[in-house]
A = this chain, B = another copy of it.
Amino acid sequence: MPVSGEIFVGGARLTSAERFHAVNPATGKRLEPAFSAAGPDEVQRACSAAWAAFDAYRETSLEARARFLETIAEQIMALGDELIERVIAESGLPRARVEGERARTTGQLRLFAQIVRSGDWIEARIDPALPDRAPQPRPDLRLRHIPLGPVAVFGASNFPLAFSTAGGDTASALAAGCPVVVKGHPAHPGAGELVAQAILAAAAAQGMPDGVFSFLPGPSNELGAALVGDPRIKAVGFTGSRRGGLALCDLAARRPEPIPVFAEMSSINPVYLLPGALADRAEALGVAFVASLVQGAGQFCTNPGLVIALEGPDLDRFVAAAGAALADSSPAVMLTPGIHGAYAAGLAALGAHAAVETVAAAAARAGCNLGHAALFSTTAEAFLADGALAAENFGASSLLVRCPDVAALRRVSEALEGQLTATLHLAAADHEAARALLPILERKAGRILVNGWPTGVEVSHAMVHGGPFPATSDSRSTSVGGLAIRRFLRPVCYQDLPDDLLPEALKTANPLGLRRLVNGRPVQV
């Protein structure tokens, strides 16, 4: 399946007069072919097709929908090395990472297939009629969850597979029963198109209704705005910058019918080095910290951009070890010239900040879009005085906040905005201190780690990749893991419906074999 540069509206392939190219960030050269940029007409067509598909798609059987997701995974694998090489060319990411990301993407699709089959996400509830209740009888009440409607997905630049065309948002929306319209990320249109082809091949093979998936590549903000503004779109999934996410939230809130936006935006992922841990293993922590920091050129939502610790000789040992590891680190190609430019500007601003010291930086090396890792240091007082120091600098940059005492450490913690993660490095002697910090961290973050590193997000049932604003626009959600399906569902209650009019999930005989709540108690099947 060669990359065609076309727009995919359901099964139809379209072209447009406006063209754009992907750029190889490692060379700065543009990549062939030219891509048709989707515009308002294609948005209309894709949303119309998605809407037409919705009622049929949402009532596909659990098995059919699960097979569709699994077939997408198979079709992605069938793309073979062409996909891997295209991702490498468009992203500058190394092969091992891209292959790992592909495995994560297909694993995620298979996890959602398993979740769809279980039917647990329907959360069927039955409160049987109480005809003899006084003073009034109770009607028969049955609840199931149904999908919201067509979902617009905006992929992320930093995960061209796992958070993009067939990434977590698409997988969970399709699992919920929502048709998906992807706004293709302009940094990896070829990878996007190949994956779109895989999804559409799977849809055709599994007999899914035309319009269940469309792919609209394009570089303009207007394309995204048109998509979010279309009345047939009922929810939005987004992973990207704070500015981009907030713009979509604003557009969605101003619609005649506002819709939810699940935007995963900005996080600096504080890492706490507690005294016992530093005393035990300051040098090892410094080395491991840098390994997490520079992974993927630091281009992770969960990159450890902030380190918080008490001043003292143990912290100095950590800094020395981290500094040495950083100085040894290799600069890496960043995803796009824009991301590289913003990162370099962020480094320059931190380096020039009166209250910030540059602790260490990767040795300068010339090359296209190379990101150089850096570690900065400041005081708790300075950090609290300037909110700009808590802004995310997307890339391998981190800021150490040196706290004179535990009170300052608490103040710094309470001043943080919402985060995807918070990490505690601790030894047995630190448990009391950790216990005192945990209530703060729970209020601030979606995931709390002990003695690990925030990069690397497991895809499983208990994962939360979310958190209070601005980590996400809706802290009640996660964009990774089984619970992500819930974003795209709403409850509907059926009162006194004759059994033959009830959906399968709620019929008295329980033909789907679902686990259901009856009078609030789970009934095993």
Q: Are B496 and A452 in contact (CB under 8 A)?
A: yes
Contact pick for A143, options B146, B439, B456, B463, CB 8 Å: B463
Q: Are A434 and B501 in contact (CB under 8 A)?
A: yes
Count of identical protomers in the assembly = 2
Q: Are A136 and B456 in contact (CB under 8 A)?
A: yes
Say yes or no for A116: interface residue by CB 8 A criterion: no
Q: Are B260 and A253 in contact (CB under 8 A)?
A: no
Give 19 A-B pairs besides A126-B462, A448-B493, A462-B493 with Cβ atoms closer than 8 angstroms: A59-B439, A114-B520, A115-B520, A143-B483, A250-B253, A257-B417, A257-B418, A257-B469, A260-B474, A431-B501, A438-B501, A446-B490, A448-B495, A461-B517, A462-B517, A476-B489, A476-B490, A478-B493, A483-B491
In the bound complex, what is the Cα–Cα distance between A452 and B492 (angstroms)? 17
Most chain B beta carbons < 10 A, residue from A59, A249, A431, A449: A449
In the bound complex, what is the Cα–Cα distance between A445 and B516 (angstroms)? 22
Q: Are B498 and A450 in contact (CB under 8 A)?
A: yes
- Interface flags for A406-420 (1: CB within 8 Å of B; 0: not) read 000000000001100
Contact pick for A446, options B258, B448, B492, CB 8 Å: B492
Knowing A55-B439, A143-B483, A442-B146, say if A493 contacts B520 (CB, 8 Å).
no
Quick one: which of A468-510 are within 8 Å of B by CB? 468-470, 473-476, 478, 481-483, 486-487, 489-498, 500-501
A507, chain B: closest CB distance, angstroms: 14
Knowing A434-B501, A462-B127, A524-B524, say if A475 contacts B490 (CB, 8 Å).
yes
Q: Are B118 and A460 in contact (CB under 8 A)?
A: no
Q: Are A446 and B517 in contact (CB under 8 A)?
A: no
In the bound complex, what is the Cα–Cα distance between A197 and B260 (angstroms)? 37
A472, chain B: closest CB distance, angstroms: 10
Quick one: which of A383-438 are within 8 Å of B by CB? 417-418, 431, 434-435, 438
Q: Are B257 and A253 in contact (CB under 8 A)?
A: no
Contact pick for A447, options B461, B463, B495, CB 8 Å: B495
Most chain B beta carbons < 10 A, residue from A434, A460, A469, A486: A460
Say yes or no for A16: interface residue by CB 8 A criterion: no
Knowing A118-B520, A258-B469, say if A492 contacts B448 (CB, 8 Å).
yes
Q: In the complex, what residues of B have CB within 8 A of residue A115's CB?
A: 520
Q: In the complex, what residues of B have CB within 8 A of residue A118's CB?
A: 520
Knowing A448-B495, A492-B448, A493-B464, say if A475 contacts B148 (CB, 8 Å).
yes
Say yes or no for A67: interface residue by CB 8 A criterion: no
Q: In the complex, what residues of B have CB within 8 A of residue A141's CB?
A: 458, 460, 462-463
Question: What are 20 A-B contacts defined by CB distance under 8 Å?
Answer: A55-B443, A59-B439, A100-B135, A118-B520, A125-B482, A127-B460, A127-B462, A138-B458, A143-B464, A148-B475, A148-B476, A257-B417, A257-B418, A257-B470, A431-B500, A446-B493, A447-B494, A464-B493, A466-B490, A524-B524
- Interface flags for A299-341 (1: CB within 8 Å of B; 0: not) read 0000000000000000000000000000000000000000000
Q: Are A449 and B258 in contact (CB under 8 A)?
A: no
Q: Are A464 and B491 in contact (CB under 8 A)?
A: yes
Contact pick for A492, options B139, B447, B520, CB 8 Å: B447
Say yes or no for A190: interface residue by CB 8 A criterion: no
Q: In the complex, what residues of B have CB within 8 A of residue A60's CB?
A: none
Q: In the complex, what residues of B have CB within 8 A of residue A463's CB?
A: 127, 141, 143, 493
In the bound complex, what is the Cα–Cα distance between A497 and B448 (angstroms)? 8
In the bound complex, what is the Cα–Cα distance between A258 and B258 (angstroms)? 15
Q: Are B142 and A462 in contact (CB under 8 A)?
A: yes
Say yes or no for A519: interface residue by CB 8 A criterion: yes
Q: In the complex, what residues of B have CB within 8 A of residue A496's CB?
A: 449-452
Say yes or no for A188: interface residue by CB 8 A criterion: no
Contact pick for A493, options B253, B447, B470, CB 8 Å: B447
Say yes or no for A10: interface residue by CB 8 A criterion: no
In order of increasing CB-CB distance, the 5 nearest A-B pairs are: A464-B493, A141-B462, A125-B462, A143-B462, A461-B520
